[in-house]
Amino acid sequence: MSTIKTFIKNHPVLTFYAVVFAISWGGILIVVGGPGAIPGTAEQVEPLSPLFLFVMLAWFAGPSLGSILLTGLLYGRAGFRDLLTSMTRWRVGARWYAVALLSAPLLYLAVSLALSLTSPEFLPSILTTSDKAALLLMGIGYGLIGGGFLEELGWTGFAVPKLRLRYGVLATGLIVGLLWGAYHFSVVFWAGGSSSGALSLALLSAQLFAWMPAFRVLMVWVYDRTGGSLLVAMLMHASLSASMLILQNLALAGAAALTYVLVLAAVLWVVVAAVAVANRGQLSRQPL
């Protein structure tokens, strides 16, 4: 036991991600009935749709429980106090709330409206749905509870501050962003309904790795500039998740979906570059 605890203390981020993937992916496998029951086509997804809520609960349990377990094991009550302090750090300046809450909706709206000039299939869901109130409530609720609270309790509550002790904003954002994309593989694969063919493989890769690292770099930059506010990070992720549901047409498929994701990724990387230039190439302050 002492050897295991020493390893965990020496490699807290590695251990955290191992726990996250074990809980999230392991939980999903238990819910669906094992690796052989994972859907690979749209026809296989449909019979399992009643289990989707439980799939999501298992998925969100990974980062939240991983953060709580590792914080308690490594830092005890002091760690939980620090986590709570970061979660309630709200005096950060109005401009950072504006950045956190408006970045994602403005990006999604700009990309959706620009692409809609080429085809109406790119119009935001909020403009095409017949039940706008339900979509807004679902998007905001999912954003606040799922992405905002349960995911960021792990990503920004545990992984980011540990990595920032050794790396700058860009490197931290890339590491967390790539692993954030990998974490989404199970749910994106499920929702996609198929992983066959070059187009499907390209779309899956783009959905997971083209834009997520860029947005995570921006999130780490905001976290850095707000003195380590987990609250602001949660709000930024909540805004992202809500915008994805409300301002993107989730019915997009095939080449249209790939086009949307690649354009979104390109815009996000341009924003990251602009932020770096505006800060004279220096995204980071001193390590937190």
Asked if residues 284 and 168 have their Cβ atoms less than 8 Å apart, the reply is: yes
Give the per-residue pLDDT at 193.
Answer: 46
SS3 percent helix, strand, coil of the chain, rounded to 5, is 80, 0, 20
Please check whether residue 152 lies inside any domain of the structure: yes
SS3 227: coil
How many structural domains compose the chain? 1
Please check whether residue 23 lies inside any domain of the structure: yes
Give the burial class of 5: count Cβ atoms within 10 A of its Cβ; 0-12 exposed, 13-18 middle, 19 or more buried. Answer: exposed
Please check whether residue 283 lies inside any domain of the structure: no
Give the per-residue pLDDT at 2.
Answer: 77
- Domain residues for the domain of 240 are 2-278
Give the per-residue pLDDT at 224.
Answer: 95
Q: Rounded to an integer, what is the distance from CA 8 to the centroid of its chain?
A: 25
Please check whether residue 288 lies inside any domain of the structure: no
pTM, full prediction = 0.92
Please check whether residue 190 lies inside any domain of the structure: yes
Q: Where is 154: in which H helix or E strand?
A: helix 152-154
CA 288/CA 156 separation, integer angstroms: 12
Please check whether residue 228 lies inside any domain of the structure: yes
Please check whether residue 110 lies inside any domain of the structure: yes
Give the per-residue pLDDT at 110.
Answer: 97
pLDDT 10s digits, 3-58: 888 999 999 999 999 999 999 999 988 887 776 556 555 555 566 667 778 888 99
Please check whether residue 56 lies inside any domain of the structure: yes
Q: What parts of the chain have a pLDDT lower than 50?
A: 193-196
Rg for the chain, CA atoms, rounded: 19
Tokens of 166: 């050794």
